[in-house]
Structure 1
Amino acid sequence: MIPMLLKFVFPPPSSLFITAMSVIGVASLAGTGYSETRGKHLQYSKFWNVNSQKTTRNEIKLSSRTGMLMFYTPAFLAGVAAFALFPDEGFRFFLVSSALTIHYFKRVFEVLFVHKYSGGMGLDTVILISPGYLISTATIIYTQHLTRGVQEPPLDLKYLGVVLFLVGISGNFYHHYILSKLREKGGEKGYKIPQGGLFDMVICPHYLFEILGFVGISFISQTVYAFSVTIGSIFYLLGRSYATRKWYLSKFENFPKEVKALIPYVF
């Protein structure tokens, strides 16, 4: 099993920190995804205060735009800082850092200019999510730095990774744009059943393409830690998409039953 893995990943660094982060990352994201399927949601977007049993009187509530900027900006800055902190690290490192920086730049751009908002989010959600993005981004970059001077895996996946990343980020942006057009009228805050693109087949095509983007980054990186982040993210987005479809079914009597959660015809 190990020799097979070493055909397409760098040998894991002898770092207890990286090993621990790989395990913790998968476990925490998978656990959060499972919680989503059980109705315990991260409190943002349409799931703000869904099934909440507590009063919001003592909660600090932020606007969605402010909260989401706090989600993504630190990770974006970590990607930018990588170019200054680790100059001349080689082409693969450049591709990994560039992909992460572009990924979070796109998210910040969408928060400012694309997304339409209907609710808010709690500060506790921001405190939970923002460090997670920052730490995973910084750790992917640092793990890539540790591969300097290490023999490359026999199977080079970085160019396939670039293609997958570009398809993923483009598809994710396109479907976010479709969602934003559902509220073209000023002040409109209600939810509608999205249509167009892959929305006619799955209710969360933006998550599907986000997964594709993460797979692309892990292929570019070819480190165990990058793959662990991708696996954890897949588990989380599976749970989140399941919960999203369940929410639409509960809110719209005319929601088409053939529309799946994440994977056309399958799930």
Structure 2
Amino acid sequence: MGVVVPELLLKILYPPPPSLFISAMSVISFASLANAGFMEIKGKHMKYSKFANLSSDKNHPKLVSGKTGMLIAYTPALLAGLASFTLLLPIEEGLRFQMLQSALTIHFFKRVIEVLCIHRYSGGMEIDTAIPISISYFLSTVTLIYTQHLTNGHPEPSIDLKFVGLALFFIGIIGNFYHHFLLSRLRSPGEKQYKIPRGGMFDLVICPHYLFEILGFVGVTCISQTVYALAFTLGTACYLSGRSLATREWYKSKFDDFPENTKALIPFIF
């Protein structure tokens, strides 16, 4: 069994590039995201959304609006994706590269549009939270694109997953958007209080938007088929798993009628 797994990985992943930066980023991305997920379970949350605890402190010196905070978080990564179309000419990089940079750009464009047009915010966000999230998204986007650039001219993996990845990416992004839309419909204009989400997959799990986000990044990994993409996606899955568990506990603590059968992330299982 110890031989089969490496052989399979060699068939589905490009060999790691001889780059200290990429190797370091692979370890850092996975370790930092996995640790953040563990901290969520331990009760040390990233200070945004329902865990911000700042909505009543409008004079907080480091507080920005939820909308501004999320724009700070997502915009640099979107700009990095857009810039890649100019700095690294897609026609010279190949179809896989074009698919990756397009998927990342679409992902963050969708997020910015949701911030501007879909989400309804109950409070503010600490700038000390928005900036690290922004740096993380920006660095991961740049590293994903740069890692793909380094595969140019190398033999393709013997198992080609890029079109499977494209399908998974679009399923993930559509499912994520749909459940974000349902969340935004919970409140009337001007309302601030939280409610138990209903509709879609919310009757099965409290964070279906996280489930579809993970699926979208699994799609990105299948498009890319690089070690860094795999490390980043595994780390993201760890973080969102921890965040979903913390979210479920939060709802259970706030609502006596929270359904016990509703799981955190994966229907009927987790």
Q: Which TM-score band applies after superposition, normalised by the shorter structure?
A: over 0.9
**Which residue number corresponds to residue 37 of structure 2?**
33
Question: Is 1:5 the equivalent of 2:9?
Answer: yes
Contact 1:162–1:220 (Cα < 8 Å) also in 2: yes
Post-superposition Cα deviations, 1:155-209, rounded to whole Å, max 9, x if no partner, equal: 00000000000000000000000000001x2210100001000000000000000
Question: Is 1:141 the equivalent of 2:145?
Answer: yes
Q: Segments of 4+ in structure 1 off by > 2 A? A: 1-4, 55-59
Unaligned runs of 5+ in 2: none
Within-5 A mapping of 1:65-76: 65-76=67-78
* SS, match of residue 214 in structure 1: helix
Question: Is 1:237 the equivalent of 2:240?
Answer: yes
- Distance in structure 2 (CA, Å) of the matches to 1:135 and 1:59: 27
- Distance in structure 1 (CA, Å) of the matches to 2:122 and 2:58: 17
**Which residue number corresponds to residue 113 of structure 2?**
109
Once the two structures are TM-superposed, the CA of residue 23 in structure 1 deviates from its matched residue by 0.4
Contact 1:203–1:244 (Cα < 8 Å) also in 2: yes
- Distance in structure 1 (CA, Å) of the matches to 2:80 and 2:95: 18
Within-5 A mapping of 1:1-267: 1-49=5-53, 59-87=61-89, 88-183=92-187, 185-267=188-270
Give the AA of the match of 1:212: L
Contact 1:93–1:145 (Cα < 8 Å) also in 2: yes
CA RMSD of aligned residues (A): 1.3
- Distance in structure 2 (CA, Å) of the matches to 1:75 and 1:43: 20
- Distance in structure 2 (CA, Å) of the matches to 1:58 and 1:247: 24
Give the AA of the match of 1:93: F
Percent same amino acid at aligned positions? 61
Give the AA of the match of 2:252: L
* SS, match of residue 62 in structure 1: strand
* SS, match of residue 257 in structure 1: coil
Give the AA of the match of 2:83: A
Post-superposition Cα deviations, 1:82-115, rounded to whole Å, max 9, x if no partner, equal: 1111112110000000000000000000000000
Give the AA of the match of 1:6: L
In the comparison of the two structures, how many residue pairs are matched? 262
* SS, match of residue 201 in structure 2: helix
The alignment's TM-score, normalised by the length of structure 2, stands at 0.95
Question: Judging changes above 3 Å, is the alpha-carbon distance between structure 1 residues 252 and 58 closer, same or farther for their aligned structure 2 residues?
Answer: closer
Give the AA of the match of 2:231: S
Question: Judging changes above 3 Å, is the alpha-carbon distance between structure 1 residues 140 and 235 closer, same or farther for their aligned structure 2 residues?
Answer: same
Give the AA of the match of 1:62: V
Once the two structures are TM-superposed, the CA of residue 30 in structure 1 deviates from its matched residue by 0.4
Unaligned runs of 5+ in 1: none
Contact 1:10–1:222 (Cα < 8 Å) also in 2: yes
Give the AA of the match of 1:82: S
Contact 1:59–1:123 (Cα < 8 Å) also in 2: no
The alignment's TM-score, normalised by the length of structure 1, stands at 0.96
- Distance in structure 2 (CA, Å) of the matches to 1:132 and 1:206: 20
